[in-house]
Amino acid sequence: MLVIEQLSKVFGDLTAVDSVSLAIPKGQMVGVIGRSGAGKSTFLRMVNRLTDPSRGTILNEGQNITALKGRDLRLWRASCAMIFQQFNLVERMDVLTNVMIGRIAHTGFLRSMTRSFTDEDRARAIEALDRLGLVPQALQRAGTLSGGQQQRVAIAKALVQNPRIMLADEPIASLDPANASRVMDALREINRTDGLTVLVNLHTLDTARAYCDRIVAMKDGRVQFDGTPEALTSEKVRQIYGTDDLSADINEAVTSISLTATSSRQPVKAFGT
Amino acid sequence: MTALTPAIDQFEHDYATARRSALRLNLISTLLFALCFLVTAWIGGFFDMTDVTLPGGERVSMWKIWAGLPRLGEYLYKTLPELHRETLGADLAGWFWRWKVWLWLLLETILIAYMATLLGIVGAFFLSFPASRNLSPNRWVLNVTRRFLEIIRTVPDLVWALIFVFCFGVGPLAGVLAIGLHATGALGKLYSEANENADMRPLEGIKASGGSWFDQIRYGIVPQVVPNIISYTLLRFEINVRSSSIVGFVGAGGLGQEIRVAMSLQEYTDLSALFLIVFVTVIVIDMLSEKVRHHIIGLTGKGI
């Protein structure tokens, strides 16, 4: 259980995240939605402490995350893997090394500096790449891969971290629809098979509806809605996105990633192992 | 002029105004620049007068720069060796009469530059990360490393050479340390600028995987900046070859001591021979380093 209490982040005059309290049971897939600037990213980045909270606490299985420092903090980051919108891979290095970087928190200083990961790490990395169908690209430079492939490399890297929680910050915002589906399918497969808690920031409502058990909507740093996808009515959507000037309903198909441009999804291709 | 729409008329009017003010700005800045140039030239003695005796015997006062220019030609003319087609071999041998000493000193010059560049690479590489605004662990470390790099590169290598000759005596050791220290400062600045231009996203990716500061540098920054580091370093090597042919002036090894002796003994043809040696060496190193640079830039990312 990941318990977040009164979590806030203040940048100067701006309160990016304002007293967010959430309890997320193990194994839940949570979609975080909201307008740009609603505080979604900052919220996610506070969970793995890439951004330090101004106030509030994060507890994971009773462990106080907000107080972690040094090596404990690095181990926490390793145990809640993060996936970024821009993939954040080392583009000039090969895919395999990029995945092995997922073991960096458990790699000694000298091994890390000399780039000599253990055979066990290499085995884990290649297994993860196999699971995401990227073994043929293992020795290519990461920068030469397509966006969708790079994001799957990032997921493979996240997997070798052996995480308890997976954070994904707009993982499909830079991808075309086909790749976006593959990445979201991969995340859901990991959620279902490995029982990982997944927190994913999305700006496509129908993706959130299609993949997530629970949707948390943020507006101006606050939680505006928290419930199942079914409970997210178009009235609520209007409140979240604050479209007072738009008389019509928000058409979810406009931002849809689904290839048929409807909120009902095609059957998912069998994935993985 | 045909009137199109009021918006376009307004645009034409605004455009003309913008053009006029741009022209005015150009004119003013050109005048200011010219004024500054004239003032600095005057301070620098460009308009000083000197008395010259003309061939006719009369003495006139004229601008120093006109009076001095012919002497430059005279000096260069004196350095030209006398070469005749019939006795070319003997003339060349006469011109490069000390070639054994010079070749040895040339080797020493290149080795000084090589050693100094190695010292510079090591020092600058490790100091460049704390000296980068985006990577430094805190402001204190940033400022201390930056000031240190500034101090060691602000002092010219010739001055460092003087100090090290005093400490370690005459010889190439002083030259290596002097040029190495100066190169550390100069390269450290360039490397840290390369670091500051690096894409920070990979670093964040590594940090999010639990990487320490060193891991972030090793995997996030180093692969990105290696091509820059290589080209700056090869460029620095060329500069160091030039420097190491000068530090001999103060006894820190290399060809410089020969240049100094030739100058003070007014052995003009020796000077041109030495100049030719340095010139050819620098050109060869320049060409080689460009080849190596392009080759290595193509390779990076595979092994680093």
Nearest to B109 by CA among B297, B230, B274: B274
Q: Residues of A with CB below 8 A from B216's CB?
A: none
Q: Residues of B with CB below 8 A from A93's CB?
A: 219, 223, 301
Taking an 8 Å cut-off on Cβ atoms, the answer to whether A101 and B207 are in contact is: no
Taking an 8 Å cut-off on Cβ atoms, the answer to whether A92 and B224 are in contact is: yes
Phi then psi dihedrals of residue B95, to 5 deg: -65, -50
Helix (H) or strand (E) holding B278: helix B268-299
Architecture of domain B98-299: Orthogonal Bundle (1.10)
Indicate whether A272 belongs to any domain.
no
| Smallest Cα distance from B218 to chain A, Å | 6
Q: Tokens standing for B5?
A: 């729409």
Q: Residues of A with CB below 8 A from B220's CB?
A: 90
Q: Tokens standing for B66?
A: 């006109």
Nearest CA in chain B to A159: B209
Indicate whether A264 belongs to any domain.
no
Residue A38 has pLDDT above 50, yes or no: yes
Q: What is the pLDDT of residue A252?
A: 66
Distances (CA, A) of B210 to B10, B134, B206: 59, 19, 7
Counting every residue, how long is chain A? 273
Q: Could you give the CA distance from residue B182 to residue B176 in angstroms, rounded to a whole number?
A: 10
Contact A61, A1 (CB under 8 A): yes
Going by pLDDT thresholds of 50, 70 and 90, the confidence category of residue A1 is: confident
Q: Could you give the CA distance from residue A45 to residue B161 in angstroms, rounded to a whole number?
A: 52
Domain that holds residue A25: 2-255
| Smallest Cα distance from A137 to chain B, Å | 14
Which of A74, A88, A157 faces B204 most closely, judged by CB atoms? Answer: A88
Average pLDDT, chain B: 88
Phi then psi dihedrals of residue B117, to 5 deg: -65, -40
Task: Give residues 224 to 283 of B whose Cβ lies within 8 Å of A.
Answer: 224
Which of B202, B210, B211 faces A89 most closely, judged by CB atoms? Answer: B202
Residue A268 has pLDDT above 80, yes or no: no
Task: Give residues 146 to 205 of B whose Cβ lies within 8 Å of A.
Answer: 201-202, 204-205
Number of A–B residue contacts, CB under 8 Å: 86
Which residue in this structure is represented by tokens 């180093």? Answer: B222
pLDDT digits (tens, 9 = 90+) for A198-229: 999 988 888 888 888 888 988 888 888 888 88
Q: What is the pLDDT of residue B30?
A: 96
Which of B208, B210, B214 faces A75 most closely, judged by CB atoms? Answer: B210
DSSP one-letter string for chain A: -EEEEEEEEEETTEEEEEEEEEEE-TT-EEEEE-STTSSHHHHHHHHTTSS--SEEEEEETTEEGGG--HHHHHHHHHHEEEE-TT----TTSBHHHHHHGGGGGGS-HHHHHTT---HHHHHHHHHHHHHTT-GGGTTSBGGGS-HHHHHHHHHHHHHHT--SEEEEESTTTTS-HHHHHHHHHHHHHHHHHH--EEEEE-S-HHHHHHH-SEEEEEETTEEEEEE-GGG--HHHHHHHHT-TT--SPP-GGGG--STTSSSSPPPPPP---
Residue B226 has pLDDT above 90, yes or no: no
The CATH number of whichever domain residue A82 belongs to comes to 3.40.50.300
Which range is least confidently modeled, A221-230, B147-156, B181-190? A221-230
ipTM score: 0.84
Taking an 8 Å cut-off on Cβ atoms, the answer to whether A101 and B301 are in contact is: no
Q: Could you give the CA distance from residue A222 to residue A39 in angstroms, rounded to a whole number?
A: 8
Share of chain A above pLDDT 70, in %: 89
Which residue in this structure is represented by tokens 């009021």? Answer: B6
Which of B209, B220, B301 faces A161 most closely, judged by CB atoms? Answer: B209
Nearest to A180 by CA among A199, A206, A141: A206
Burial of A125 from C-beta contacts in 10 A (0-12 / 13-18 / 19+): buried
Q: What is the pLDDT of residue B95?
A: 82
pLDDT digits (tens, 9 = 90+) for B242-283: 888 888 888 888 888 888 888 888 888 888 888 888 889 888
Count of the separate structural domains present in chain A:
1
pLDDT digits (tens, 9 = 90+) for A156-188: 999 898 888 999 998 888 888 888 888 888 888
Indicate whether A266 belongs to any domain.
no
Q: Could you give the CA distance from residue B85 to residue B81 in angstroms, rounded to a whole number?
A: 13
